[in-house]
Amino acid sequence: MKTQAFKTITMLSLLLMLAAISVNAQQLSESKITVNIPFEFVIGEKTFPAGQYSLRRIVSNSSADQLLIHSVDRSVDTPTGITRPNRGSEIQKRSSLVFNRYGDQYFLYQVWTAGSDTGRELFRSRTERNLAKQVARSKSKPSKETLTAAKE
C-alpha cells in the first residue's frame, strides 16, 4: 500500500514538473509584445519609422537570443540584434520597451515582458556608443523613454 502511494505521488510530481517546464518554455518563445511607438527609433544600425510594432523573442540555445520586430501596418518581419538577459528588481505588471534617448534619436535598449522579472537588453550599436561618448563629453546624460505595450 505504501509502495503504491509512493509511486503515485512520484508520478504526479514528475507530471507537474514537466508541465511547468513546458509552460515556461512556451511562454518564453511565444510571448509577443505589441506597442505603438510615436517616434523614429534605431535597433542596431537600422532605423525604423514611428508606428505600431510587434516584438517577439527568438529563443536560442544560449542566453543570447534575438528579437523579431514586425511592423503591423507594413507586414515586414525583421530580425534585430542579439539580446542578453537583464534581471529586474520586481515582476513586471505590463510589457514595456525602454529606449535610450540622445537628443532626438531613440535607440531600443530593453524589452520587458509582463509576468517576468527578466527582460532582454540589446547590445549598443557603434552609432549609439559614439553618441553616448559625445553626450558624456558634454556632461549631460542620456534620457530614458519607456513605452507600455498594449494588452495581449
Residue 119's alpha-carbon distances to 57, 65, 85, in angstroms, are: 11, 11, 6
- Could you tell me if 19 and 35 lie in one domain? no
Domain count, the chain: 2
pLDDT > 90: percent of the chain? 25
**Claim to verify: residue 9 and residue 70 sit in the same structural domain:** no
d(CA 35, CA 54): 6
Q: Are residues 85 and 114 in the same domain?
A: yes
Does residue 84 share a domain with residue 18? no
What's the pLDDT score for residue 107?
Answer: 95
Do 52 and 122 lie in one domain? The reply is yes
Residue 78 is part of which domain span? 31-148
Mean pLDDT taken over the chain: 79
Residue 101: beta bridge partners? 106, 143
Question: DSSP letters of 90-108?
Answer: S--SS-EEEEEEETTEEEE
22 and 56 fall within a common domain? no
**Per-residue pLDDT tens over the stretch 28-73:** 445 788 999 999 999 988 888 898 998 888 877 666 677 888 888 7
Same domain, 23 and 43: no
Both 11 and 67 in one domain: the answer is: no
Enter the pTM of the model: 0.73
| pLDDT per position as a tens digit, 110-122 | 999 898 888 899 9
Does one domain contain both 62 and 92? yes
pLDDT-based confidence at residue 22 (cuts at 50, 70, 90): very low
Q: Which residue has the higher pLDDT, 65 or 7?
A: 65
Query: How sure is the predictor about 9, in pLDDT bands with cuts at 50, 70 and 90?
Result: low
